[in-house]
């Protein structure tokens, strides 16, 4: 087989002005990190008592001092979440299109160097996977793929979206980042949401863990949600992969800052954040700064207290007991019954999953747990007009 | 004498309309709908799933007694709202539409420009249109002129539970309107609903305060009683409020006797 040369888009250095990415880079995150380091119990008290909180309060609530007030934070986060989102949790499922990848990222099972079974679904196979998910109740599907501009090309992605849009009311995309024109094609094909995790906001760590491939370009990735929003994506998901950087609080602060900047710049978009923790995967990467359950709870509560309206998404990386507890603290959407390998729902093969799933319960079991906890599992929350 | 509410060609005994979002379960929503005595509930078309594997939101409602007001929640401009309304009609739902155009997803504030545009199109197309709108007296008159069957100005930010923060504007709207005025958002306590009815609203629409209550059915009943009390108070003729005290035994009463 002869290799087809891949046309590279022009990617100017830096991020464009008047974007959330630029706003983030202009924010003094070092100062905010210092606030988190130095916060006292009195600062925490004040932040808890406020009605509208900003980034300064986010730093205070992420501080070690605030860890002593975790129950108070949890109670407040629970009240706000119920008030803003009701006792309802949206459910979605990831659909892995391909585990082909040309990037070398130390923490990911799909990393180019890993000797794993690779597979890419045809659009028709993707549709069969989606039919299984629809049968299981899902009406929101997140399409996921590794980074391979030839095999997982923009034309291929557009074809997949077109194949699925007629049967799936809400489609989101979590694949390599693209330019605005490609995002517009995907929106026109029926894509409603864009998910781009920066993984870590620390440029040094970012360079260390993304060793090869297009993903090395930090700025191009950081401005991807801006490009998606400009192209008409309605929902934006951003996230940090906790454990990559050796200071999770710094990444959490940057994530919160980024979310706020996106909300300001793209006021029509619904913005959601995710704080996945590293899971075992092919390649055997060890977390630099393991995030404890208590840390994760503090982080989710702090985000909720500062941004009452932001969505918080939780994947099946986390184990059942923790997922069930977190849903009361601020989580607004969850995946369930996930397979992280291409074809995993309808036609499983030996294809390698991206990471080990921590919650293996079926979608119906997760829905039953939600109902037992007094929450309405919301399968459908969108209607393309 | 009956005090029914008439909107377009339909008569309602209850002046409390119910939103169906944020409930912990369909069962809780059904119980609240029963306890509220409501005859009109609004349902987001984006939540309706004709192919649902389990019970869908519509299965939980007694549609013989309760009119389904599909809403265009999620629409960001007039074009989207119109398409959603037509989808609802094509799916066989009543042609009563609660027009909601909220381009910003966090505070769900209605877009006045797009709302007027969509209202004009939908009314001309035969829909019975009830628009959720800012509490702006001129906008409400314009919505009335294009054929809306009622106007639904907000009492305060949706879901805020702040009560009638738009009181001054609502008073004008009630005074000027020739179609029913339904106060739609921000009513967080039964007393807020009574307040709106005393002010002269024809009905109120409540969702968050009932759906997120510890006991939604009990809260629904409380709102029912408050709406009835407020309406009765309005009809009975509320005394004017005054900033100065008014003695019940006038000091100049003796003059008439001479």
- When CB atoms are compared, the residue of B24, B49, B80 closest to A376 is B24
Residue-number span of the structural domain to which B24 is assigned: 5-257
Looking at residue A79, what is its pLDDT? 93
* Stated pTM of the model: 0.85
Residue A251 class from Cβ within 10 Å (0-12 exposed, 13-18 middle, 19+ buried)? buried
Decide if A269 and B87 are in contact by the 8 Å CB cutoff. no
Own/partner pairs, A249-252, CB within 8 angstroms, 24+ separation = A249/A33, A249/A36, A249/A62, A249/A63, A250/A29, A250/A33, A250/A201, A250/A202, A251/A200, A251/A201, A251/A202, A252/A62, A252/A299, A252/A302, A252/A303
Q: Which of A265, A374, A383 to mutate to test the interface with B (most CBs of B within 10 A)?
A: A383
Give the total number of structural domains in chain B.
1
> pLDDT band at residue B189, thresholds of 50, 70 and 90?
very high
Decide if A268 and B105 are in contact by the 8 Å CB cutoff. yes
> pLDDT band at residue B242, thresholds of 50, 70 and 90?
low
Smallest Cα distance from A72 to chain B, Å? 20
Smallest Cα distance from A27 to chain B, Å? 23
What is the rounded distance in angstroms from the CA atom of residue B169 to the CA atom of residue B162? 16
- When CB atoms are compared, the residue of B21, B74, B105 closest to A86 is B21
- When CB atoms are compared, the residue of A85, A375, A385 closest to B75 is A385
In the predicted model, is pLDDT for residue A264 greater than 60?
yes
B86 is catalytic: no
A82 contacts in B (CB within 8 Å)? 212
In the predicted model, is pLDDT for residue B222 greater than 90?
yes
In the predicted model, is pLDDT for residue A4 greater than 60?
no
Instruction: Answer with the residue of higher pLDDT: A365 or B61.
Output: A365
Each domain of chain A, given as residue ranges in start order, spans 20-376
Q: Which of B21, B24, B206 to mutate to test the interface with A (most CBs of A within 10 A)?
A: B24
User: Could you tell me which residues come within 8 angstroms of residue B10 by beta carbon, excluding any fewer than 6 positions away?
Assistant: B67
Mean pLDDT (whole number) for B136-159: 94
Q: Which residue of B has its CA nearest to A137?
A: B53
For A:266-285, CB contacts with B below 8 A are 267-270
Contact A165, A130 (CB under 8 A): no
User: B22, B86, B98, B224: which one is catalytic?
Assistant: B98
In the predicted model, is pLDDT for residue A224 greater than 90?
yes
E strand segments, B27-115: 40-44, 67-71, 96-99
Of the candidate ranges A163-167, B91-95, B241-245, the one whose mean pLDDT is the lowest: B241-245
Mean pLDDT (whole number) for A207-231: 95
User: Could you tell me which residues come within 8 angstroms of residue A166 by beta carbon, excluding any fewer than 6 positions away?
Assistant: none
In the predicted model, is pLDDT for residue A274 greater than 80?
yes
Decide if B49 and A379 are in contact by the 8 Å CB cutoff. yes
ipTM above 0.90, yes or no: no
In the predicted model, is pLDDT for residue B218 greater than 80?
yes
Per-residue pLDDT tens over the stretch A111-156 = 888 888 899 999 999 999 999 999 999 999 999 999 998 999 999 9
B76 contacts in A (CB within 8 Å)? 234, 268
Residues on chain B bordering chain A, Cβ-to-Cβ distance under 8 angstroms? 21-26, 45-49, 51-54, 74-76, 79-81, 83-84, 87, 103-107, 159, 161, 208, 211-212
Closest CA to A231 of A173, A165, A272, A274: A173
Mean pLDDT (whole number) for A201-209: 95
What is the rounded distance in angstroms from the CA atom of residue A363 to the CA atom of residue A141? 13
What average pLDDT is seen over chain A?
A: 92
> pLDDT band at residue B253, thresholds of 50, 70 and 90?
low
- Cβ-Cβ contacts under 8 Å between A and B: the total is 80
Decide if B47 and A376 are in contact by the 8 Å CB cutoff. no
Smallest Cα distance from B17 to chain A, Å? 18
- Show the tokens assigned to A271: 């913005």
- Show the tokens assigned to A174: 């979590």
Q: What is the DSSP string of A169-228?
A: SEEEEESS---HHHHHHHHHHT--EEEEEEE-S-HHHHHHHEEESGGG-HHHHHTHHHHH
What is the rounded distance in angstroms from the CA atom of residue A256 to the CA atom of residue A56? 11
Mean pLDDT (whole number) for A351-357: 85
Looking at residue A32, what is its pLDDT? 95
Angle at the Cα of A70 (from A64 to A72), degrees rounded to 5?
130
In the predicted model, is pLDDT for residue A304 greater than 90?
yes
Instruction: Answer with the residue of higher pLDDT: A212 or B125.
Output: B125
In the predicted model, is pLDDT for residue B50 greater than 80?
no
Q: Which of B27, B43, B70, B74 to mutate to test the interface with A (most CBs of A within 10 A)?
A: B74
What's the CATH code of the domain at B30? 3.20.20.70
A363 contacts in B (CB within 8 Å)? none
Considering A324-328, A334-338, A356-360, B131-135, the range whose residues carry the highest mean pLDDT is: B131-135
Looking at residue A1, what is its pLDDT? 44
A379 contacts in B (CB within 8 Å)? 49, 52
Looking at residue A134, what is its pLDDT? 95
Domain A20-376 coded CATH 3.80.30.20:
no
What is the rounded distance in angstroms from the CA atom of residue B164 to the CA atom of residue B151? 16
Decide if B25 and A376 are in contact by the 8 Å CB cutoff. yes
For A:363-382, CB contacts with B below 8 A are 367, 371, 374-376, 378-382
Contact B203, B16 (CB under 8 A): yes
Angle at the Cα of A72 (from A66 to A76), degrees rounded to 5?
110
Looking at residue A37, what is its pLDDT? 95
Mean pLDDT (whole number) for B16-35: 93
Per-residue pLDDT tens over the stretch B155-186 = 998 878 899 999 999 999 998 898 999 999 89
Residue A2 class from Cβ within 10 Å (0-12 exposed, 13-18 middle, 19+ buried)? exposed
In the predicted model, is pLDDT for residue A3 greater than 60?
no
């Amino acid at each position: 087989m002869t290799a087809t040369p891949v046309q590279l888009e022009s990617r100017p250095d830096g991020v464009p002005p008047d974007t959330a990415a630029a706003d983030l880079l202009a924010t003094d995150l070092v100062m905010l990190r210092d606030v988190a380091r130095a916060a006292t119990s009195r600062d925490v008290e004040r932040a808890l008592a406020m009605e509208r909180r900003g980034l300064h309060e986010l730093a205070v609530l992420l501080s070690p001092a605030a860890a002593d007030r975790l129950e108070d934070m949890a109670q407040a986060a629970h009240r706000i979440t119920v008030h803003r989102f009701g006792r309802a949790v949206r459910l979605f499922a990831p659909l892995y299109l391909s585990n082909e990848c040309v990037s070398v990222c130390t923490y990911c099972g799909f990393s180019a160097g890993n000797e794993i079974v690779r597979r890419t679904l045809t659009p028709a196979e993707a549709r069969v996977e989606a039919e299984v998910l629809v049968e299981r109740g899902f009406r929101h599907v997140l399409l996921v793929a590794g980074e391979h501009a030839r095999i997982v090309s923009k034309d291929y992605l557009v074809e997949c979206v077109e194949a699925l849009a007629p049967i799936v009311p809400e489609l989101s995309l979590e694949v390599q980042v693209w330019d605005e024109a490609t995002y517009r094609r995907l929106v026109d094909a029926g894509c409603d949401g864009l998910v781009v995790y920066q993984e870590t906001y620390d440029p040094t760590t970012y360079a260390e863990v993304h060793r090869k491939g297009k993903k090395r370009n930090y700025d191009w990735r950081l401005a991807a949600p801006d490009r998606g929003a400009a192209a008409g994506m309605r929902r934006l998901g951003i996230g940090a992969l906790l454990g990559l950087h050796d200071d999770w609080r710094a990444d959490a602060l940057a994530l919160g800052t980024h979310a706020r900047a996106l909300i300001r710049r793209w006021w029509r978009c619904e913005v959601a954040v995710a704080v996945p923790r590293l899971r075992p995967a092919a390649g055997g990467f060890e977390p630099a700064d393991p995030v404890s359950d208590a840390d994760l709870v503090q982080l989710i509560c702090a985000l909720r207290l500062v941004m009452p309206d932001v969505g918080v998404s939780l994947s099946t990386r986390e184990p059942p007991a923790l997922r069930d507890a977190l849903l009361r603290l601020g989580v607004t959407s969850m995946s369930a019954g996930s397979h992280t390998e291409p074809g995993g729902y309808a036609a499983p093969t030996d294809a390698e999953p991206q990471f080990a799933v921590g919650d293996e319960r079926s979608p119906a079991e997760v829905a039953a747990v939600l109902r037992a906890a007094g929450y309405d599992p919301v399968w459908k929350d969108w209607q393309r007009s | 004498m009956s005090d029914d509410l008439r909107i377009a060609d339909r008569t309602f005994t209850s002046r409390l309309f119910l939103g169906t979002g944020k409930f912990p379960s369909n069962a809780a929503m059904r119980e609240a709908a029963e306890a509220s005595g409501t005859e009109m509930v609004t349902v987001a078309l984006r939540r309706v799933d004709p192919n649902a594997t389990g019970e869908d939101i519509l299965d939980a409602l007694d549609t013989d007694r309760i009119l389904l007001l599909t809403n265009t929640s999620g629409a960001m401009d007039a074009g989207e709202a119109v398409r959603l309304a037509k989808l609802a009609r094509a799916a066989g739902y009543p042609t009563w539409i609660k027009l909601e155009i909220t381009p910003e997803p966090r505070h769900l504030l209605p877009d006045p420009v797009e709302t007027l545009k969509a209202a004009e199109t939908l009314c001309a197309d035969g829909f019975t249109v009830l628009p959720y709108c800012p509490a702006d007296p001129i906008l409400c008159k314009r919505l009335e002129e294009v054929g809306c069957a009622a106007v639904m100005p907000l009492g305060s930010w949706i879901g805020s539970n702040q009560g009638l923060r738009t009181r001054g504007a609502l008073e004008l709207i009630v005074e000027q309107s020739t179609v029913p005025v339904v106060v739609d958002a921000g009513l967080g306590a039964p007393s807020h609903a009574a307040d709106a009815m005393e002010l002269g609203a024809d009905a109120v629409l409540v969702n968050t305060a009932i759906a997120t209550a510890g006991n939604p059915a009990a809260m629904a009943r409380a709102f029912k009683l408050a709406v009835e009390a407020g309406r009765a108070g309005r009809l009975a003729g509320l005394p004017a409020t005054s900033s100065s005290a008014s003695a019940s035994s006038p000091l100049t009463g003796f003059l008439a006797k001479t």
